[in-house]
């Protein structure tokens, strides 16, 4: 996409008649073009509007698409035990993604390269859901517990409040 400097800002504002109609539908957006209003200000704009919509990076401005991209990256770091449920949970609790990216580095530093699973646990009667980071440890029980305690002391206790009770860590034998 080629960018050119322009001295006007282009904004699309619906006509007054359009605003008086009932709530929008896809058909109305397709059949009622918006009116172009030009405001004076310098900025860089795409050469043409069709080029603007074809640029793949612009799709990343959508919050949902950004979250989906982050979830795909998390799938490279963790094994999702129930993929669909975990993805929905992460979309609802998106603040956990940053913590999950942090966790992976700390887990690898303490446990080495081990399989790390994400499991969603829920109790419908009590009305709670919690995501568990399950570290599959190849170490004997005493060593695995020591490493889990080290992880909790060095990292997780500081992040526990940020998880809002929606994330926990567990170690299991490989």
Distance CA 141, CA 147 (A): 10
Same domain for 111 and 47, yes or no, is no
Whether residue 84 is contained in a domain is answered as yes
65 lies in a domain?
A: no
Angle at 83 between CA 163 and CA 69, to 5 degrees: 70
Place of tokens 């889990």: 148
Whether 79 and 52 map to the same domain: the answer is: no
Please give the pLDDT value at position 35.
Answer: 43
Q: For residue 29, what are its two tokens?
A: 């957006």
Q: Does one domain contain both 79 and 45?
A: no
Tell me the C-alpha distance between 90 and 99, whole Å: 11
pLDDT, tens only, 46-103: 334 444 344 444 444 577 788 889 999 999 999 998 899 999 999 999 999 999 999 9
Domain count for the chain: 2
Q: Whole-number mean pLDDT of the chain?
A: 76
pLDDT at 64: 79
**pLDDT by residue (tens digit) across 19-39?**
455 544 444 444 444 444 444
68 occurs within a structural domain:
no
Residues spanned by the domain of 149: 75-173
């Amino acid at each position: 996409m080629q960018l050119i400097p322009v001295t006007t800002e282009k904004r699309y504002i619906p006509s007054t008649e359009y605003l008086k109609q009932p709530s929008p539908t896809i058909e109305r957006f397709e059949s009622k073009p918006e009116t172009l209003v030009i405001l004076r200000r310098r900025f860089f704009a795409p050469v043409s509007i069709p080029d603007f919509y074809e640029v793949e990076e612009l799709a990343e401005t959508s919050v949902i698409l950004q979250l989906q991209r982050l979830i795909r990256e998390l799938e490279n770091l963790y094994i999702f035990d129930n993929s669909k449920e975990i993805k929905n949970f992460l979309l609802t609790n998106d603040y956990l993604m940053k913590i999950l990216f942090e966790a992976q580095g700390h887990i690898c530093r303490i446990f080495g390269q081990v399989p790390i699973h994400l499991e969603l646990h829920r109790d419908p009667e009590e009305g709670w859901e919690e995501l568990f980071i399950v570290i599959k440890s190849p170490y004997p029980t005493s060593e695995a517990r020591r490493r889990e305690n080290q992880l909790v002391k060095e990292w997780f206790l500081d992040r526990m409040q940020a998880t809002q009770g929606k994330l926990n860590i567990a170690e299991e034998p490989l």
